[in-house]
Amino acid sequence: MKPALALAAVALIFSSLVVAQPGDRETELEAIRDQIARLQGRLNRVRRQSAGLKGEIEQTAVAIELQEKRVDEAQTARTLAEESLAGLQQQVAELEIRLEELRHHLKQRLADLYRLGRQGYLRLFLSIRSQEDLLSGIRQVRFLAIRDRDLLDHYVDTRARLELERRELEERQREVEQWLLAEGQRLDQLHRLRRRQAALLTQLVKEQESLATQTARLEDKERKLASLLDFLYGRSTESLSGTPMQNFLGVLDWPVDGTVVTAFGPRLDPRYKTQTPHNGLELSTGVGSPVRAIYPGEVLFAAPFQGYGWTVVMHHSGRVFTLYAGLRDLEAARGDVLSLGHVIGRSADSLYFEIRVENRPVDPAEWLR
């Protein structure tokens, strides 16, 4: 190869080693990372705002979406690293070929200089025989010396460049391996999240079925109790004599010593936000505590009732009914006319208590002091 062509070839190789500027793949990677940041913020908000099983499912759905983006990030970064690795491998291969060519030329040139002896260029210069050839001879010797120097410089530079590229190649290979490992870990995490979501959805279905069954049971229980009271109300067409119970609104004694655990009004499920009817008070009491009539009246019902246990219903003046349910035993019977504070039975560990005016449920807490 002629010296001028060799220099041009080296220049061409060096120009091809310039690292390409970030392109579409880098833009795609940045976009994915922006999406990851937004999803992470959304997940943090959901964790702060959501509660219960539905909240967990919503969190898992966002976490799955976030993890999918993280997998995309790992795959895109791996592809980018692989593309860079392929380019470096090509550059290293070209440098190795070029280095071998330069080594061959340098070896030949060193052999030529060796044959000229210790003072090679000087002997070559002194071999010029005529004065006319002196100027051209000087030029030729100068050209050869520059060519040999450039050949040696190119060899040294190419070898140094090759070492740099090989180190870069090793770094890219490690980077690809790291992204492959990250991709595998993120895929495993994604699979775990999807399994968790499936388990949560299964749990949600079971809880909803259980809640529906429980709600239906409570509604049926309440409906039967309402039917009993409707029946008793229909039979009690005559008003009892005496001062209407309404005149003592807010000053009546509690039927039993205890603590209100469930207030009057529909019960709201905290997780599913469904409502079930609740027309009285649920009181926590000591076992065997005496349960007393809160106002004089007649016992219309005293017997076990499905879902409530021993139950007493009393009719008071002013067309007011009181109901005491969940008793351990009774000390009153149907047809008894009881005075204020008369013991009608003993509690188990709780008491359900209702007040109805004209068969319409009212909040007992407003009647009691």
Is 216 within the bounds of a domain? no
Residues 49 and 192 occupy one common structural domain: yes
Q: Is residue 221 part of a domain?
A: no
Establish if 203 belongs to a structural domain. yes
Give 269-306 pLDDT, tens digit per residue: 655 566 777 899 999 999 999 999 999 999 999 999 98
Same domain, 50 and 150: yes
In a domain, 258, yes or no: yes
Q: Are 287 and 328 contacting, i.e. CB atoms less than 8 angstroms apart? A: yes
Q: Is the pLDDT of residue 258 over 70?
A: yes
Q: Within this chain, do residues 123 and 259 fall inside the same structural domain, yes or no?
A: no
Q: What is the mean pLDDT of residues 172-201?
A: 78
Residue 280: Cβ within 10 Å count: 25
pLDDT given for residue 84 in this prediction: 76
Residue 231 included in any domain: no
* pLDDT, mean of residues 257-273: 81
- Indicate whether 196 and 254 sit together in one domain: no
Residue 175 lies in a domain: yes
Percent of the chain with pLDDT over 70: 79
| pLDDT at residue 123 greater than cutoff 60 | no
- Show the domain range for 169: 3-209
Domain boundary among 209, 227, 252: 209
Question: Do the domain assignments include residue 96?
Answer: yes
Question: Mean pLDDT, the chain, as a whole number?
Answer: 78
71 and 128 in a common domain: yes
Which of 131-135, 156-160, 184-188, 321-325 shows the highest mean pLDDT? Answer: 321-325
- Are 191 and 254 part of one and the same domain? no
Per the domain annotation, does 202 fall within a domain? yes
pLDDT score, position 15: 36
